[in-house]
Structure 1
């Protein structure tokens, strides 16, 4: 079944297409990318989640077309808090789609934010870095992309529009922190091994509305101690409700099982850390439960 909905949520008329629902989605407990591509899962055996429904989502902003997925527990008829997920700089990979399924299994309405447009997936650090830099340099563009995705998530009958959070991985972690700095009216944001620099949009005192949870690798060479200290000072000056958790020996991208192979392939200081992955996921679960009470 295909459902089309015309909406005026964007400056131009937006088109929302919810295509062919899949009621028997798979989930890898901590899905990752394989050794050759940032776009595919790591080949682990997956288990069936009969109640988690995934729906491809396509929408437009008058300039670009965006492709993503939404996921939710179809066995639960009630409205579910919204959790938007901003991916790593690789784009809308299978890894982040699997994370959306995991979020849905927890009882939330999950949707991946397609920041780049077209559901783009990039396979090397040079292209990924060039694409991501557009949103580091232009936080307002990032916020526009976030708001467009949020408007689509809000349009689902399964979504509780009064309870909204955002989580992000690496690049996505930076983006959700920037959404908080820009005053997005969210219950909370969670950054998994995200960059902490504010890129010129220092948080105003009292200007951060959501609670903030930062899950950081203590051995992350992309986030030195000096940057961590500056970030903590910024959050303190802004009177933000912020919790910062560091994981000893964990490097950048510690939640992605494909990170180690990608690091070796591209000579990047990134590595999967199973203990930090599981521990940080549990912290996120507790955080979401608390903010959505």
Structure 2
């Protein structure tokens, strides 16, 4: 096990990074610790050893279950495409929920205290920007479910990202976007039959983005419900009686669209 220690300044704190590098292959993955307001955040960094020079960076924000293997898998998939990806920890100390009630508690507490959520997101962003193989001017973020809500609300607040993508994320605004305030290009992937998001919320989101003058695209997949990108959704549905389901076609199509989106925003 290789341990890598690096000091960097993240939101007025000296942060120590501790990594475990995976064996073999061009895609490397390692656990990393960073800090936000005195709380240790346990993330996962993945990058491609074959790519030389500074790469675009991507933050991956987890579902309401917390930072788990699914978020890490997406980080590795991004590394395979040539990006340096950081699967972030929004709950702190790597906490994960084992039951929907616990997941709902963790996520709702953070959304109700969004200044804390913003500080944790910015800590991850600053961490990623300061890595020697990352171009700090080419950073994007993606999020799943709860994570989709996080990245959408960061875009609303004018966080300086090239783009954000939300996969089956909540569309409700913590603080509505203001005209001219959205800097990131926005891509939303939505299941048309999602039971957690109403048509009224969709229309309100679209109108909010238009009023703000945001550059956004909203892609809806007919017959698809919540958590359509996660193969574990079927297990969750059966175990907890949740209206969620994996959809292989929508997963594939949305990932292909994400790749096109990244090619476009990182070339600009």
So what's the TM-score if we normalise by structure 1? 0.88
Among 61, 73, 76, the alignment partner of 2:48 is: 73
Q: What is the aligned partner in structure 1 of residue 96 from structure 2?
A: 121
Question: What CA distance in whole angstroms lies between the structure 2 residues aligned with 1:128 and 1:205?
Answer: 33
Q: How many residues in Structure 1 have an aligned counterpart in Structure 2? A: 266
Whether 2:159 is the aligned partner of 1:158: answer no
Q: What is the aligned partner in structure 2 of residue 6 from structure 1?
A: 7
Question: What CA distance in whole angstroms lies between the structure 2 residues aligned with 1:20 and 1:217?
Answer: 36
Per-residue deviation, 1:62 = 4.7
More deviation in 55-64 or 1-10? 1-10
Question: What CA distance in whole angstroms lies between the structure 2 residues aligned with 1:135 and 1:227?
Answer: 21
Which digits, 9 at most, give the CA deviation of each residue in 1:4-63, with x for residues without a partner? 23333223x332223232243xxxxxxxxxxxxxxxxxxxxxxxxx11011210122352
Per-residue deviation, 1:209 = 0.3
1:8-87 to structure 2, matched below 5 A, reads 8-11=9-12, 13-24=13-24, 50-87=25-62
Per-residue deviation, 1:141 = 1.4
Whether 2:114 is the aligned partner of 1:139: answer yes
Whether 2:188 is the aligned partner of 1:214: answer yes
So what's the TM-score if we normalise by structure 2? 0.96
Contact kept in structure 2, 1:23 and 1:52, CA below 8 Å: no
Which digits, 9 at most, give the CA deviation of each residue in 1:142-195, with x for residues without a partner? 110000011111121111111010000000000000000111011000000000
Give the superposed CA RMSD: 1.2
Comparing both structures, which one devotes a greater share of its residues to helix?
Answer: 2
Query: Which structure 1 residue ranges, 5 or more long, are not aligned?
Result: 25-49
Whether 2:263 is the aligned partner of 1:286: answer no
Three-state SS of the structure 2 residue aligned to 1:198 is coil
Three-state SS of the structure 1 residue aligned to 2:161 is coil
Q: Which has the higher contact order (CA 8 A, sep 6+)?
A: 1
Three-state SS of the structure 2 residue aligned to 1:121 is coil
Contact kept in structure 2, 1:139 and 1:178, CA below 8 Å: no
Per-residue deviation, 1:135 = 2.2
1:209-288 to structure 2, matched below 5 A, reads 209-288=183-262
Three-state SS of the structure 1 residue aligned to 2:173 is coil
